[in-house]
Chains A and B, each alone.
Chain A
Amino acid sequence: MTGGVTRAEYCVMACAEAWRGDGEVLAAPMGAVPRIGARLAKLTFAPELMLTDGEAMIVGGDPEAVEGWLPYRAHLGLVTGGRRHVMMGASQLDRHGNQNISCIGDWKRPVRQLLGVRGAPVNTLNHPTSYWVPRHSRRVFVERVDMVCGVGHDRVAAATPAAARFHDLRCVVTDLAVLDFATPDRTLRVRSLHPGVTADAVREATGFPLDIADDVPCTREPTPAELRLIREVIDPEGAREREVPS
């Protein structure tokens, strides 16, 4: 059953790993692959995770069973209370972990208006934050983001101490690799390469110099049980393959 593991399935599993050890917090995934990953984590090694239906309900072990109510304003309370780990998207991300989902170009008159800052500032200053990038490219991994929505390590260091108090950037999962900030200067490094991806391919797709250790490991294999859950229980329609085509 482990034969023919797709790139999307490695991504799902790597996203699931982001929530390992978090305990009883709300896993807040943005995007199809992180959503599948969060369910996978909950159904395997992190059963205490809380998940929502994407709107106002907290759903329990049985996805149909509502176990709690979380309308937007209560959700914001949960964010600032810190019992949450979000995995957001990023239109741009720099080596310090600054993230942009607002606009491309000059903010005063953007070349391309995107979503807006949304909850990225409140998320990044209050609880663990990870990122999901379905297409690792130089357009996303830039030297400097055009608008800092999610706050990176350099910007936190330059701000008042209250900014750093609960700031906690965890990992960045892309279609090529898993990255984190476990370097002395808290900048991005590659934690693992997905099987079949070379270090050069990741360097080539990144818009700033990226250190990749010679002995960088491969992203681990999903277990047969994990693959079965992904393929038969959580995502039988294959939404993951539409986000990360094989």
Chain B
Amino acid sequence: MFPILEKKEMAERTICQLKIHAPDIAKKVKPGQFVILRVNEAGERIPLTVADKNPLEGTIVIIFQIVGKTTALLRKLKVGQNIKDVVGPLGQPTEIEKVGKVVCIGGGTGVAILHHLTKGLFEIGNEVISIIGARTKSLIILEQEMKAISNELVVCTDDGSYGYHGFVTQALQEAIKKNPDIKKAVAIGPVPMMKATVDVTRDPYIPTIVSLNPIMVDGTGMCGVCRCTVDGKTKFACVDGPDFDGHKVDFDELQQRLCTYLGQEKESLLFSIK
């Protein structure tokens, strides 16, 4: 059992943050790694990236968007209640190296994952340009936190309600024009956003790391539901990733596989409110 110590609604009814007591995981987890959790006995296993950790108090932080039954259940949990199973750390940590100037791009709740990485990149002395975006102002998360670990921060909204009016990819194009010396890009967010980012960084070429979000069950490499095609080869995102070279990922296949259970996801949600 994994008790919840703190809970925060980051964007009303959409994005939620939980601090969970999981001392062994807190000691080991590195930026880019994730956990799999199961809320209760009848629950499903879902993957969530660890957004932050505090090994001294033995806690990890997860941030999630409420998109279906399990995330809704998770949001309903109160401080002091438990999550039945939390397993991790899983996946390969993101390679954090000093390259000079990097650009970190995050969309929606992807910013939660990006934050942990950006912190790592910033702390070892990279010059960090961060571009974060969401549909509208109320869905922007971690703005202050990102500001503290970036040399430059651009906030975008699709509807122009806050900051730069447009997609993160548009802001990225401008940033590349201004900073031809960008050595590396990291992009985390919905599949269409990552795909569009990679289209931008293809010419002029900037190595781009993406964090993939396929369906997972066990998260330990035993089932292959999270398989993705990278550079023409099948990879398991849970053990070989979730980070991959964005220029080599088959995003269309990923998007297609993500739709496998759309019907049943809806059915499950409707059944739970009946």
Partners in one complex: no
Which residues in A have some Cβ–Cβ distance to B below 8 Å?
none
